[in-house]
A and B are shown apart, each in its own frame.
Chain A
Amino acid sequence: MGEELKLLGMWGSLFSRRVEMALKIKGVEYEYSEQEIFHNKSASLLKYNPVHKKVPVLIHNGKPIAESQVILEYIDDTWKDHPILPQDPYERAMARFWAKFLDEKCVPALWKACMSVGPEREKTQEEACELLSTLEGELKGKKFFGGENIGFVDIVADVLGYWVGVLQEAVGVDILTEDKFPVLCRWAEDFRNCPVVKENLPPRDRLLAFFITQSEMLNSLQQK
């Protein structure tokens, strides 16, 4: 088809992996370029995402698209087979609502809950659990947020499907546990077992080491 499709990503980034999952669902070939995300950002990254200077960035026939949810919608708008978003406008609105909830509330709250120390820890963990309860309620009776197959919300919920489990182990906290959130934990296992997800998860030991380092760095900064 003569199309040029390139993804600027990072092996451990849950945002970057979302895009890879979506591209695999669509069966689309792409070139992957691993990026430095902390220091020494590449000229490409700075050129194609001057506003945020972050991954993921999808470059399609020279045109860059940034922000993972915007990219997911772009992928769904461009390759029509195996839709990621529902067809009905109301269902689409619900999917976008939950995706926004995940990224604006859950991801920051989970990170905060895992990275906070001392007396703050209890409060941040409580807040994270409250948010997870809302999602647990939304998921009841469904195999995936998207129904029988994974969709937009499941992909955006990858933080819960895999990353938070590794992060919890790295810092020694228990937030997303089976006794507190049985439905979410069952979903997470089903999510991880989907072929497009399984092939796209960063290696556990490498991610664990990465989170441990992050946590140690933050702790030393907080103690200064």
Chain B
Amino acid sequence: MADGGEVKLLGFWGSPGSPQQEELYAIAVQSVHKKVPVLVHHGKPIAESLVILEYIDETWKQSRLLPQDPSERARARFWAKFADEKCVLAIMAVFRSEGEEQQKLVLEARETLKILESGLEGKLFFGGETINFVDVATGWIGCWAQIVEEITGTSLIDAENMPSLDAWFKRFLELPVIKECVPPWDKLIELNSGFHKMCVA
């Protein structure tokens, strides 16, 4: 890292939180929630991925994730929060359910994704021409949604109903810096299939 300080990222390679970070190490750190990811900098731990992103943005100022303008920052935080709280939960609900209930939850998940699409406002990325805080915080959802789609046989994001969101996810996952961080597809499927069996058992 640029400042020479020691940075360790505790992440589980298959967890939705981990692809957002730049490097992965496996070191155990106690946190309140006992969950990953946890960033440890100069021996101090920080948990919760959005909190970690803000910390990274404020500590390594070379390439800012959040916009400078306060109202643009507020917009970015709003959409990151929306994706984190509504989209993630909705997709998780689909993953954990079956049958008729699942069909209903798929519709709800698609609705939240449609709202997320409105936040994109037809741009290439939430950050405009380049990625910003929101893209980094939420782009992984596209990968995870595809995994859930494959395992559950449902359709969450499609080019017909959510053209700009669909294009954005694909564009984000193709970026070299992001591609490096995403674990191999077949391993993700294997891991999440295991979780799925546990959820619907």
User: Which of B46, B59, B74 lies in contact with A65, CB distance below 8 A?
Assistant: B74
User: Which of B41, B59, B77, B118 lies in contact with A70, CB distance below 8 A?
Assistant: B77
Q: How far is the CB of B76 from chain A (nearest CB, A)?
A: 9
- Does A92 interact with chain B (Cβ within 8 Å)? yes
Please determine whether B81 and A67 come into contact, CB atoms closer than 8 angstroms. Answer: yes
Chain B residues within 8 Å of chain A by Cβ, number = 25
Please give, as numbers and ranges, the residues of chain A lying within 8 Å of B12 by CB-CB distance: none
Question: A-side binding surface: helix, strand, loop or mixed?
Answer: helix
Assess A101 versus B32: contact at CB under 8 Å? Given A66-B78, A90-B44, A93-B52. Answer: yes
CA distance A67 to B75 in the complex (A): 10
Please determine whether A78 and B70 come into contact, CB atoms closer than 8 angstroms. Answer: yes
Chain A residues within 8 Å of chain B by Cβ, number = 24
CA distance A97 to B115 in the complex (A): 26
The chain B residue sitting closest to A58, CB to CB, is: B74
User: Which of A51, A69, A70, A78 lies in contact with B115, CB distance below 8 A?
Assistant: A51
CA distance A94 to B51 in the complex (A): 8
User: Which of A67, A74, A90, A94 lies in contact with B70, CB distance below 8 A?
Assistant: A74
Please give, as numbers and ranges, the residues of chain A lying within 8 Å of B41 by CB-CB distance: 90
Please give, as numbers and ranges, the residues of chain B lying within 8 Å of A66 by CB-CB distance: 78
CA distance A196 to B52 in the complex (A): 31
CA distance A77 to B81 in the complex (A): 18
CA distance A92 to B54 in the complex (A): 9
The chain A residue sitting closest to B85, CB to CB, is: A104
Please give, as numbers and ranges, the residues of chain B lying within 8 Å of A51 by CB-CB distance: 82, 115, 118
The chain A residue sitting closest to B80, CB to CB, is: A70
* Total residue contacts A-B, CB cutoff 8 A: 62
Which residue of B73, B74, B82 has the most chain A CB atoms within 10 A of its CB atom?
B74
Please determine whether A73 and B73 come into contact, CB atoms closer than 8 angstroms. Answer: yes
Assess A97 versus B74: contact at CB under 8 Å? Given A67-B81, A89-B59, A92-B54. Answer: no
Assess A67 versus B78: contact at CB under 8 Å? Given A60-B71, A96-B54. Answer: yes
Assess A65 versus B48: contact at CB under 8 Å? Given A90-B41, A93-B54. Answer: no
The chain A residue sitting closest to B72, CB to CB, is: A63
CA distance A154 to B51 in the complex (A): 18
Please encode chain B, from 68 to 106, with 1 for each CB lying within 8 Å of some chain A CB and 0 for all others.
Answer: 001101110110011001000000000000000000000
Please give, as numbers and ranges, the residues of chain A lying within 8 Å of B74 by CB-CB distance: 65, 70-71, 73-74, 77
Residues of B within 8 A of A (CB): 32, 41, 44, 46-48, 50-52, 54-55, 58-59, 70-71, 73-75, 77-78, 81-82, 85, 115, 118
Besides A69-B81, A93-B51, A96-B50, 6 other A-B contacts (C-beta < 8 A): A73-B73, A74-B74, A89-B59, A92-B54, A96-B54, A97-B51
Residues of A within 8 A of B (CB): 51, 60, 63, 65-67, 69-71, 73-74, 77-78, 89-90, 92-94, 96-97, 100-101, 104, 134
Closest 10 interchain pairs by CB? A77-B70, A89-B58, A93-B55, A74-B74, A65-B74, A93-B46, A96-B51, A70-B77, A78-B70, A63-B71
